[in-house]
Chains A and B, each alone.
Chain A
Amino acid sequence: MPARAPGEYPPPVHVTRLALTDFRSYASAELALEDGVSTLLGANGQGKTNLVEAVGYLATLGSHRVASDAPLVRYGAQCAIVRAQIAAPGRAALLELEINPGRPNRVQLNHSPVPRPREVLGVLRTVLFAPEDLALVKGEPDQRRRFLDDLLVATAPRYAGVRADYERVLRQRTALLKSLRGHPPARALARAGGRRADGRPDGAPAGGAADGAAADDPPASGAARTLEVWDEHLVRTGVELVAARLKLTAALRPLVGRCYAAVAGAESTITVGYRQSAGRAGSVAGAGPVPGQVPGEPAPDPAGLADGMREALARSRAEELDRGVCLVGPHRDDVDLRIGELPARGYASHGESWSMALALRLASYELLRSLGGDPVLLLDDVFAELDTGRRERLASLVAGAEQVLVTAAVSADVPPELDGARFEVAGGTVTRAG
């Protein structure tokens, strides 16, 4: 059996060798890396980002650029292979990943196959900064949910399983709602409003022959009656996810405020709240206006969360059946980001939005560090997006990290604080340039 368990990899950790086969534009590529800063320089379209993306994929088992794996495999090839030698104090790990679009990926750790890829989450941890990060502030809620969930998995890999379970329940329940859409029995069920603790719709005659087998329960078909079962599973897995997200948001809150000030170079009141779809009329946890320190935040109480979600399900029953979509649960939640009194989304300037996006990433970095050692920092083409002030402040904040991989089109974009190894990337080849 392979060695595993994330706790076994005491940080700080860095990548010493990266090898790609049929990954994106690379037929094959290999580079030796050191701790400290490495800069990958090259014109657009030469494959700099692909290298950073590959490292990020090893850490998260997903790409920050695309949702499906197909574009990661070089055109015409069957699968892509990413290999990384990872150094930690006193030990080394060889992580090998075969990306098979449409089929399960295969992973080896130190030449031993790992039964499920997600068991290697935590061997390598990264925080990636990319131009796409602006969408964390300006984009749709799904961007912010993904940010939270990815960070959750980086802090505690077991949440990869929780997340996968929730998504599966959600798909099953959504499929059921779609199939019930518009059926007359669905209406009867909607009236029952999910309050069928006694297994009988409100107002149904107590006792009687329908008791027991319940197979002849007149209004609801068998499929409709299973909705309650999926409700329970949605609540059980959903509460686990929401509780973890609430805890994570609370841990991030002071860090984001501090990082925002550091990167923006100015004090602002930053609020990071979690908005629950199941909450009482759009309640936002921890949206207090006190900068950085929300007093007496209660720890999320699973029983209370479960009750809230059940109530919300009962309230939304009719609409869910009418529309055939699942309207309650963590897949409808959002992170509420505010600068001063105003929501960042829609109100913040371009510069403020960037400061907020960088603050979220820097706070992730701080959080992971506080939970055990430096993650590897990946800075993909971000400096070109920033003004001089933010550029310099960001550079000084990350310069001390265990390992930083920077990509840039021209060396002038990279602040002098980030001096280190340089690589030239051109036409799918990577060469060390000093």
Chain B
Amino acid sequence: MYEGVVQSLIDELGRLPGIGPKGAQRIAFHLIAADPADVRRLAATLVEMTQRVRFCSTCGNVAQEDECQICRDQRRDLSVICVVEEPKDVAAIEKIREFRGRYHVLGGVISPIDGIGPDDLRIRELMARLADGEVTEVILATDPNLEGEATATYLARMLKPLGLRVTRPASGLPVGGDLEYADEVTLGRAFEGRRLLDV
């Protein structure tokens, strides 16, 4: 235990995801030794974040205005929506620079253990976006784990009557990896989803 504010700082940092007690201590002492101007800038950014960050009224992504940059971008393909769990998934898919459609952030996945059902996710908003018929394809890009699959199955069932094209990204072998190191589940999925080689 450290005295007063030092211990409070360590406790606060330790509450952040991915930071254990040792890491919290290291960051705390780094901040104590750092230039006070740097630390103040960090603190100001944190405060500014709490005041300015909002969620896009359309897709649920983090935004600084009523709509996020992607939803405001007129060059985006309005016929495709990619459904993801979290804003960070939007950032991951944006990195491909291939996907030109728009997103819909659910804000989580269906997980009864955590008390999260479909009503706690932004599914109603998704259905509202699909109402005008402009969207023709929905890509369900939730994580390929149990809860992500369950959420995708649930959404697929809800979307079926709308007659849209509903797709899910392929699961399979990592590019540049070795077949022998893939785990059985991944390998099994990759075999299930094998494609005809057209040469």
Contact = CB atoms under 8 A, between A and B. Distances in A.
Interface of A: 1, 4-5, 116, 119, 158, 161, 165, 168-169, 171-173, 175-176, 179, 199, 211-215, 221-223, 225-226, 228-230, 232-233
B117 A222 contact: yes
Contact of A165 (B123, B146, B153): B146
B18 interface: no
- Classify chain B's interface size: 20 to 34
A215 B162 CA distance: 13
Contacts of A221: 117, 119
A169 B178 contact: no
A1 B150 contact: no
Given A179-B115, A223-B119, A226-B110, A119 B162 contact: no
B124 A215 contact: yes
Contact of A232 (B147, B153, B158, B161): B153
Nearest to B150: A229
A230 B150 contact: yes
Contacts of A165: 146
B146 A223 contact: no
A229 B154 contact: yes
Interface stretch (B91-99, B136-144, B181-189): B181-189
A175 B113 contact: yes
B89 interface: no
A392 B119 CA distance: 65
B118 interface: yes
Interface string B120-154: 00011001000100000000000000110110011
Nearest to A164: B146
A172 B112 contact: yes
A368 B186 CA distance: 26
B131 to A, nearest CB: 8
Nearest to B153: A229
Nearest to B158: A214
B118 to A, nearest CB: 4
Nearest to B152: A229
A140 to B, nearest CB: 25
User: Which of B111, B112, B150 has most A Cβ within 10 Å?
Assistant: B112
Contact of A215 (B112, B127, B160, B183): B127
B3 interface: no
Nearest to B162: A212
23 contacts: A1-B181, A4-B181, A158-B184, A161-B183, A161-B184, A161-B185, A171-B113, A172-B112, A172-B147, A176-B112, A215-B127, A215-B158, A221-B119, A222-B117, A222-B123, A223-B117, A226-B117, A226-B154, A229-B110, A229-B150, A233-B149, A233-B150, A233-B153
A179 B113 CA distance: 9
A133 B180 CA distance: 38
A175 B181 CA distance: 35
A197 to B, nearest CB: 11
Interface in B79-119: 110-113, 115, 117-119
**Those 4 A-B pairs whose CB atoms lie nearest each other, nearest first:** A223-B117, A222-B118, A176-B112, A175-B112
Contacts of B158: 213-215
Nearest to B149: A233
Nearest to B116: A223
Given A161-B185, A172-B113, A226 B161 contact: no
B118 A225 contact: yes
B124 A173 contact: no
B26 interface: no
Contacts of B119: 221-223
